[in-house]
Structure 1
Amino acid sequence: MNNSMFEVKEIPQEQLPLDILLLADPEEAAINAYRARCRAFAVFMQGRLIAATLIEVEHVNGCAELFNIATYPEFHGRGFGGVLLDEALTKLTGQGIRCVELGTGTFGYQLSFYQKHGFRVDRVVKNFFVDNYDEPIFEDGIQHRDILRLIWQVPEFDESSS
């Protein structure tokens, strides 16, 4: 990917339009619950927003929590989400963050995406989507019920790889 065509930068979270955040989290109330305490990183191409993520950095024990990452559909499959995630992880690592946690569905392309970027399953929270969202969330005709909690650690701090 030719990175002279795009730029990844941190921006104030309030500059992110709700429509891109709703691509990753379909419930506005949930977004509003975490948005204000997060930092925003975004990919821009010729000044146009392509992808964005919200990460809470004031998390315990040197860990952050990724709450939302999305790419506009017309840019899917072109690597922007991966570049965004990698750049955000690099920047956070440089600021002392040693791990990043997140929650995602138990199936689907999101799970594969995170695993390709070094996230590993930590635990399962049963009925999370059923208990915490007003409307059922479906993907490929299957309802998301449980949430997987994943964790990424700076490689030298990943005790399980030794």
Structure 2
Amino acid sequence: MDMKIRRLKTGEEPPMELLLLADPSREMVGEYIGRGECLIAESEQGTIGVYVLLPTRPGTVELVNVAVAEELHGRGIGKRLVMDAIETARARGFMTIEVGTGNSSLGQLALYQKCGFRMVSVDLDFFVRHYPEEIIENGIQCRDMVRLTQDL
């Protein structure tokens, strides 16, 4: 699939429907989208994917959201987005890229490790504390944030 990834333009509306696939909290997405760098993937079908990079500490950036249109899952687009995020972070001079995902996000945990991330910690009950609604994924309650990192 022919796909181009570009930075969201100033004043352009972010693809909220995609962003909410990866993070169900409109409030949290709105908060970090304003502080981070949003990049969108486009094809002849329109906007098909998105990711957000958020500087967190000197030399460190977090990949806070990665989403692909549901009808296009399983085509390698997510991996292309994660690899692009890694290259973008490196090109921006960051030394470390981090990502966090739910304990129940089995596909995402596998994807991040395939892209070179290593698990470093677990933030117990993160999703219970920060999300009012219970999240169930793959038949598992999403409770804990698994943190992964990669040196660039």
What TM-score do you get using the length of structure 1 for normalisation? Answer: 0.86
Alignment equivalent of 1:100, drawn from 97, 102, 112: 97
Tell me, what secondary structure is at the counterpart of 2:22?
coil
Q: Structure 2: where are the runs of 5+ without partners?
A: none
Which residue identity lines up with residue 69 of structure 1 in the other structure? V
Displaced runs of 4 or more, over 6 A: none
Tell me, what secondary structure is at the counterpart of 2:80?
helix
Identity %: 35
Instruction: Indicate yes or no: 2:8 matched with 1:11.
Output: yes
Instruction: Indicate yes or no: 2:63 matched with 1:66.
Output: yes
Alignment equivalent of 2:118, drawn from 109, 117, 120: 120
Alignment equivalent of 1:144, drawn from 133, 142, 151: 142
Which residue identity lines up with residue 94 of structure 1 in the other structure? A
**Structure 2 Cα separation of the partners of residues 34 and 16 of structure 1:** 12
Q: Structure 1: where are the runs of 5+ without partners?
A: 155-162
* Aligned partners of 1:56 and 1:67 also within 8 Å: yes
**Structure 2 Cα separation of the partners of residues 110 and 42 of structure 1:** 19
Alignment equivalent of 1:51, drawn from 44, 49, 52: 49
Q: Deviations over 1:89-147 (max 9, x none)?
A: 11220121111112111241111111111111111111111111010110122111111
**Structure 2 Cα separation of the partners of residues 53 and 126 of structure 1:** 25
* Aligned partners of 2:51 and 2:65 also within 8 Å: yes
* Aligned partners of 1:12 and 1:39 also within 8 Å: no
Tell me, what secondary structure is at the counterpart of 2:99?
strand
Which residue identity lines up with residue 99 of structure 1 in the other structure? T
What TM-score do you get using the length of structure 2 for normalisation? Answer: 0.91
Report how many residues are paired. Answer: 150
Alignment equivalent of 2:30, drawn from 29, 32, 40: 32
**Structure 2 Cα separation of the partners of residues 39 and 151 of structure 1:** 19
**Structure 1 Cα separation of the partners of residues 96 and 145 of structure 2:** 19
Which residue identity lines up with residue 74 of structure 2 in the other structure? G
Task: Compute the displacement of 1:8 (Å).
Answer: 1.4
Task: Compute the displacement of 1:47 (Å).
Answer: 6.2
* Aligned partners of 1:41 and 1:84 also within 8 Å: no
Tell me, what secondary structure is at the counterpart of 1:129?
helix
What is the match of residue 84 of structure 1? 81
Alignment RMSD (CA, Å): 1.5
**Structure 2 Cα separation of the partners of residues 118 and 33 of structure 1:** 28
* Aligned partners of 1:104 and 1:110 also within 8 Å: yes
